[in-house]
Structure 1
Amino acid sequence: MFYFSEEDLHRQAALIQPCDVLITHNMPYDTEILQNKVDQIKPRIHAFGHMHGHWGVNIRDGVVYINSSSVSHHVYKNKPIRVNLDQQKVAIVDFENITYWDPFPGK
């Protein structure tokens, strides 16, 4: 959804079905269309990685948002963010090494 026109964004967002884990290139706050879709389907986890400078986690309205970008300024600097997902909860593994950001960083 990175270089899509607004029409294409609407078409692509319509393809997203309810799920537990949503993985996209774009962060939800990059486009209102994607954020509205995430707000509508409320996946347990929304993982993305385009925004390299804001690696970390945010929990908002029951959704665990994970910016899993591993590259910052063309250097592999961020470690993978590991989660345990079961029927009751989402648990972040190694949480002491993860940046928690709130609110969402700006574009």
Structure 2
Amino acid sequence: MKILHISDTHGCHRRLHNLPQADIVVHSGDFTMNGSEQEALDFMNWFCDLPCPQKIFICGNHDDCLYGATIDGLDGNVHYLCNSGVEIEGLKFYGVPMFMGDCISDRQIKHYANIPDDTDILITHTPPFGILDFDDNINYGSEELLGRISVVQPRLHLFGHIHAQYGMTILNGITFSNGAVMNADYTNFRKPSLIEI
């Protein structure tokens, strides 16, 4: 199975052209810049139209307009994960968004604690602490998320958020992908990651 991983497109998704073919495309959050409903609707229309058999997305810290929202009317092959999961071709995907209202309380830590033990592919916006999360002399990742990953041991962890750390690494048998395709100054896109699992 080929997974196309993108993140942090910040309202510029329509500038992405010639995306590689994949079985599943995953967007791990920050598809808007200002968090407006109009931006979110434009993204969802674009995302639904992508020529990919299955599509999954979660929200990032810029996508606050969807906090607490129920999204109806998506195509059957488009999955919005919000502390929830979906099984596709025997692989269990689970998504944890990054809403600021959760981050300033203990709710985000609880969401990480609730990641199911049988998760194959974890999707978050936040990186785990110490893994593709370093910028401005700070590790921005979550220690609680890292701790839960060490228990769950997913095959793949897809995230974004830290633009300067775009890339992939493999640690302890887990593939970690920071899919922040837009560069740090929001001017250009990097080539999206295509991961075979």
Secondary structure of residue in 2 paired with 1:75: coil
- State the alpha-carbon separation in 2 of the partners of residues 43 and 65 from structure 1: 10
2:11 alignment partner in structure 1: none
From 130, 150, 157, the equivalent of 1:39 is: 150
Q: Which residue of 1 aligns with 2:104?
A: 5
**Alignment correspondent of 2:192:** 80
Please, what is the CA RMSD of the aligned residues?
1.5
Q: Secondary structure at the match of 1:11?
A: helix
CA distance in 1, matches of 2:171, 2:193: 18
Question: In the alignment, which residue of structure 2 is the partner of 1:16?
Answer: 115
Distance in 2 (CA, whole Å) between partners of 1:6 and 1:39 is: 23
- In 2: Cα distance, 1:70 partner to 1:54 partner: 10
Aligned to 2:126: 26
Identical counterparts, % of pairs: 29
Candidates 144, 159, 166, aligned match of 1:48? 159
Q: Tell me, in whole angstroms, the C-alpha distance in 2 between the residues paired with 1:13 and 1:6.
A: 13
Give the TM-score, by structure 2 length: 0.41
In 2, are the aligned partners of 1:2 and 1:25 still within 8 Å (CA)? no
Deviation at 1:20, TM superposition (A): 1.2
Letter in 2 for 1:56: G
> What TM-score, normalized to structure 1?
0.72
Distance 1:45 1:57, change over 3 A: same
In the alignment, which residue of structure 2 is the partner of 1:57?
Answer: 168
Which residue number in structure 2 is paired with residue 71 of structure 1?
182
Distance 2:104 2:153 in 1: 24
The runs of 5 or more residues in structure 1 that have no matched partner are 86-107
- Tell which structure's C-alpha radius of gyration is larger: 2
Partner Cα separation in structure 2 for residue 16 and residue 35 of structure 1: 12
Instruction: Give ranges in structure 2 of 5+ residues lacking alignment.
Output: 1-97, 130-140
The one-letter amino acid paired with 1:68 is: G
Q: What amino acid is the match of 2:120?
A: D
2-side partners of 1:38 and 1:2: how far apart?
20
Aligned residue number for residue 102 of structure 1: none
Cα deviation for residue 9 of structure 1 reads 2.4
After superposing on structure 2, the runs of 4+ consecutive aligned residues of structure 1 that deviate more than 4 Å are none
CA contact (8 A) 1:2 1:26 kept: no
- 1:6 and 1:37 mapped to 2: Cα distance? 18
Q: Once the 2 structures are TM-superposed, how far is the Cα of residue 11 of structure 1 from its aligned partner?
A: 1.2
